[in-house]
Amino acid sequence: MTLDLFQRLSYKLARTSFVVVVVLGVLVASLQVYLDFRTQYREILNNVEEISRVSRNSAQRAVFLLDENLAEQVVQGLAEYRFLSQIAIFDDQNHLMAQHHQAIQPSQSLWLTRLLVGGKESFEYPLIAEDGMVMGTLKLELNKDRALNPFYHRAWRVLLTGSVRNFGIALVLVMVYHFLLTRPLVTLATRFAALDHARVPVSNIPHLRKHEHDELGYIVNSANRLLDNFNEKHAELKQQQQQLSLILDASPNQVFAVDLEGTLLFYNQAFKRYFGADQASNYFDLITECGIEESEQIRALLQRVGRKQAPVFNRQQHFSGLHNESHIMQMSLVPFVSEHITRVIVVLNNITELVEAEERVEYLAYCDTLTGLANRNKILEQLQEDIHRCKASNRYGALVLIDLNEFKRINDTMGHSLGDELLLHLSERMAKKVREPETLARLGGDEFILSMPEVGTTQEEARSRAEQVAERFLQTINEPVTLANQDFAVQATVGIALYPLGDVTVETLLSQADTALNEAKRRASGAVQVFEPQMAAEVNRLLQLESDIRLSYQEHHFSFYLQPLIDLHARSLVGGEALIRWFHPMRGVVSPGEFIGFLENSEMINLVGMQLLDDVCQFIRRHKEQGRFPPDMRIAVNISERQLYDADFVGKCISVLRKYKLPGSCLEFEITEGAALHNLDEVVDKMRKLQNEGITFALDDFGTGYSSLSYLKRLPVNKVKIDKSFIDDITIDPQDAAMVASIIAIARNMNLLIVAEGVETDAQAQWLAQYDEILIQGYLFDKPLPPEVFSQNYLPKPPSY
Ligand code: C2E
Ligand code: CA
Ligand code: CA
């Protein structure tokens, strides 16, 4: 460490001391000289007085004697005093008797003398005789400069030695200051300066030799105490910092701080790992290098937070492109100012999985997992929204309910995974037809729903638009699908409900569409049906019907009629078919045409069917007991598909037989072609079990289905009943006649008994008579009859007692 000389404390001290010494020296010397001068001057004047007094006697004598030689001697004698510049003796007549003149030599001190006391001074002494008479005058002129000359010499010496002494003192002081103060101070300062703050703990400052106990020692001690304190605090701080960074590093969140230029102040391990940064210094550069597409946005956000000093918490930000991945980060940004620099602490929380999980949850809550379409929940919400939307815009929307026909059959026969595949396939096709702002959803099973908000300004417009769209969907669905090397042609039915008509709720709207759909299915002509208010009445009717049926079942209002089955050639009774009748308390006897379709589609068929079987068996039992039931006679009972699928159907039938102690050989079950379509194996298994009990099976309505022969061959039936629709026109329509002929041929080929149903005319009977062993059933012989009438007319009379 070098200090400018003039800046050095020793110099300043020396300079001050020097000035003080010099000024004081000069003042003291001046005073001394002045006092000396006063004394000297008085002495000179005294000297002049004394000299004049000593030489006055001789001068008086010379004047008295007018002795010029003597006067001359006196003058010469006085001339020895060189400070007298003029000496003259005058007689009483003022004649000059003798004189001495010495010109005043100009000297260096003359100006000073003149300044102090004037250049010269004259003295006149009267020369007085003994009698007191003035006899002459002695005149002296004092050359003051000359007189003061010795004094000047002395004074000069005094001043000179004083100055030398003062200078010496000053010099000594400088040395003293230098060695005692400045040098140790500089050494100390150098040691202070040499402290390495970067290398903590900072080592103590060594004491200056021989200064251990003085002020410098005190300074060193204080400084060392300060350093100890500093080291201690530094260690504490370092420990805290380590703990803090441990905490920060333990966090899975990326934590870092940057200034507004992106310079990183610190960052944790998670940050390092995430950004793959090892020597990162600028965050903005880093995210750009990492290929994060939103880097500009992030920079802007950071800078805005810093500038406005307004923290931002939990903002979601996409980070796409980092390591070719995309993440969702929850960002918290807290601005702070340190060392006049605005900085921002950023905490990134990777919530990608969370968001994905949320999305997944939402997806699961709102999406159909099989097809990816909206699910029931979603469409219900969407419909609510769409209804509001239409109400607000005063426009009409349509809800289109699509139901795949026969899907259940395909699903059951082909297996569920293929069924799922088919659904997926069809839903993908349908999804392609959906236009904004329509929503397509799968309600479950094979039901789809399309909400079409704001499709028309009038009801008519909305209706025709919805119908068009529905047709488009049907066409798409109808296109053949090939799955597992098999072609499927799926048909669908559509019910449409328009909204908003009045204060309609989503539930009513759905049930309206459902009603329209059922209507479309019922009518079977044209697969699209728009809901009409009168259909609601139909729905109500069906609801009423359901509760009626339930009640009627409980009150046993269902029973049967019997229609005889005749051997055409023998014209004799071979059996009878039990046909259900509803003995309605208000409506009288109701034929199955009005309710059987509904009943077969409801669970009630199982209960009602069993009740009916019970009644039939009871009838047989009674007649058997009366000996009126021929042993080879069977009563045919219609069994619907749903009954066959009842897991305990076989058990229930057997227990009825047991109940009435009847063999199965008094019964025949009529099933339709479709009855076993959905699960052939299961149905065949049940049939076999029942056959083991003696029950036979007849295939009802033969010819109306579209079953293949190979399928029919697998059904263990021993009778077919040719449907009435073929019999109707056998005598007039050659095609029908040919059809019946081939049915008979097939049945014969399969060793089956043949029944012709609905034979009403003799012509029909005659036509049929060309074949052997034909059984007929129809109005030609009899209508279905109340059981008592049947037994009265056809069964043997009870033996008379
Ligand atoms: P189905 O099994 O084909 O029964 C024959 C139907 O044709 C009966 O109508 C019968 O009255 C009617 N019929 C018989 N001969 C003639 C005729 O010469 N001309 C005309 N026009 N009709 C004739 P019904 O009793 O109204 O039964 C209708 C259908 O209801 C039955 O057709 C059957 O499928 C179903 N059904 C009847 N009873 C039951 C039952 O107990 N259980 C189940 N599951 N279905 C039943
Ligand atoms: Ca039948
Ligand atoms: Ca039939």
Domain that holds residue 473: 372-531
DSSP-derived secondary structure letter, 442 = E
Same domain, 439 and 413: yes
pLDDT at position 416, please?
Answer: 85
Residue 218 lies in a domain: no
pLDDT for 1 beyond 70: no
pLDDT for 2 beyond 70: no
Residue 30 lies in a domain: yes
Q: Which atom of ligand 1 is nearest to the CA of 560?
A: 41
701 CA → ligand 3 middle, Å: 4
638 CA → ligand 3 middle, Å: 9
Same domain, 473 and 509: yes
CATH number at residue 609: 3.20.20.450
Same domain, 746 and 627: yes
Ligand nearest to the CA of 704: 3
Burial class (CB in 10 A: 0-12, 13-18, 19+), 678: middle
Q: Which atom of ligand 1 is nearest to the CA of 672?
A: 34
- Looking at 103, 130, 159, which one is the last position of a domain? 159
pLDDT for 392 beyond 70: yes
590 CA → ligand 2 middle, Å: 17
Q: Which atom of ligand 1 is nearest to the CA of 780?
A: 18
Same domain, 265 and 296: yes
CA atoms lying within 13 Å on the CB side of residue 432: 9
521 CA → ligand 1 middle, Å: 21
Centre a 10 Å sphere on the Cβ of residue 332 and count the other Cβ atoms it contains: 18
Ligand 1 shell residues, CB under 6 Å: 563, 578-580, 591-593, 596, 600, 609, 612, 638, 640, 670, 700-701, 757-760, 777-779, 784
The label of the residue with tokens 């300079």 reads 15
CATH number at residue 441: 3.30.70.270
725 CA → ligand 3 middle, Å: 10
The per-residue DSSP string of 453-472 comes to EEEESSHHHHHHHHHHHHHH
pLDDT at position 429, please?
Answer: 93
Q: Which two tokens stand for residue 435?
A: 């236009």
CA atoms lying within 13 Å on the CB side of residue 613: 29
DSSP-derived secondary structure letter, 180 = I
Q: Which atom of ligand 1 is nearest to the CA of 639?
A: 44
- The protein residue with its alpha carbon nearest to ligand 1, atom 7, reads 758
Q: Which atom of ligand 1 is nearest to the CA of 605?
A: 44
pLDDT for 801 beyond 70: no
Tens digit of each residue's pLDDT (9 = 90 or more) over 246-293:
999 999 999 999 999 999 988 999 998 888 877 768 999 888 888 888
698 CA → ligand 2 middle, Å: 9
569 CA → ligand 2 middle, Å: 22
579 CA → ligand 1 middle, Å: 6
Average pLDDT across the chain, whole number = 89
DSSP-derived secondary structure letter, 797 = P
734 CA → ligand 3 middle, Å: 22
Same domain, 569 and 480: no
Tens digit of each residue's pLDDT (9 = 90 or more) over 606-634:
999 999 999 999 999 999 999 999 999 99
pLDDT for 200 beyond 90: no
Residue 285 lies in a domain: yes
Under the banding of pLDDT at 50, 70 and 90, the label for residue 537 is confident
- The protein residue with its alpha carbon nearest to ligand 1, atom 20, reads 758
- The protein residue with its alpha carbon nearest to ligand 1, atom 11, reads 784
Q: Which atom of ligand 1 is nearest to the CA of 591?
A: 26
Burial class (CB in 10 A: 0-12, 13-18, 19+), 757: buried
Under the banding of pLDDT at 50, 70 and 90, the label for residue 706 is low
Backbone angles phi, psi at 26, to 5 degrees: -65, -45
Same domain, 456 and 595: no
Same domain, 628 and 761: yes
DSSP-derived secondary structure letter, 660 = T
Residue 377 lies in a domain: yes
pLDDT for 525 beyond 60: no
317 CA → ligand 2 middle, Å: 71
- The protein residue with its alpha carbon nearest to ligand 1, atom 25, reads 579
Q: Apex CA 746: angle with CA 744 and CA 749, to 5°?
A: 105
- The protein residue with its alpha carbon nearest to ligand 1, atom 13, reads 758
Same domain, 744 and 605: yes
561 CA → ligand 2 middle, Å: 12
Same domain, 527 and 550: no
CATH number at residue 57: 3.30.450.20
Ligand 1 pocket test target in 561, 619, 638 with most atoms within 8 Å of CB = 638
Residue 188 lies in a domain: no
Q: Are strands 481-483 and 486-488 parallel, antiparallel or unpaired?
A: antiparallel
- The protein residue with its alpha carbon nearest to ligand 1, atom 34, reads 638
Same domain, 459 and 338: no
pLDDT for 361 beyond 70: yes
Q: Which two tokens stand for residue 139?
A: 């005149």
Q: Which residues contact 679 (CB under 8 A, 6 or more apart)?
A: 412, 413, 645
- Looking at 502, 531, 560, which one is the last position of a domain? 531
pLDDT at position 707, please?
Answer: 65
Sign of CA dihedral 698, 699, 701, 702: negative
pLDDT at position 800, please?
Answer: 67
Residue 219 lies in a domain: no
Tens digit of each residue's pLDDT (9 = 90 or more) over 118-167:
878 898 989 888 888 888 999 999 888 888 888 888 888 888 888 888 77
Residue 173 lies in a domain: no
- The protein residue with its alpha carbon nearest to ligand 1, atom 30, reads 592
Residue 166 lies in a domain: no
CA distance to 393, 429, 645, 650, 682, per residue, from 685 (Å): 60, 39, 11, 10, 5
DSSP-derived secondary structure letter, 109 = T
Q: CA–CA separation, 640 vs 448, rounded Å?
A: 28
Same domain, 523 and 564: no
- Looking at 321, 356, 391, which one is the last position of a domain? 356
- The protein residue with its alpha carbon nearest to ligand 1, atom 16, reads 758
Same domain, 43 and 108: yes
pLDDT at position 358, please?
Answer: 85
Ligand nearest to the CA of 564: 1
What is the count of structural domains for the chain?
A: 4
Ligand nearest to the CA of 597: 1
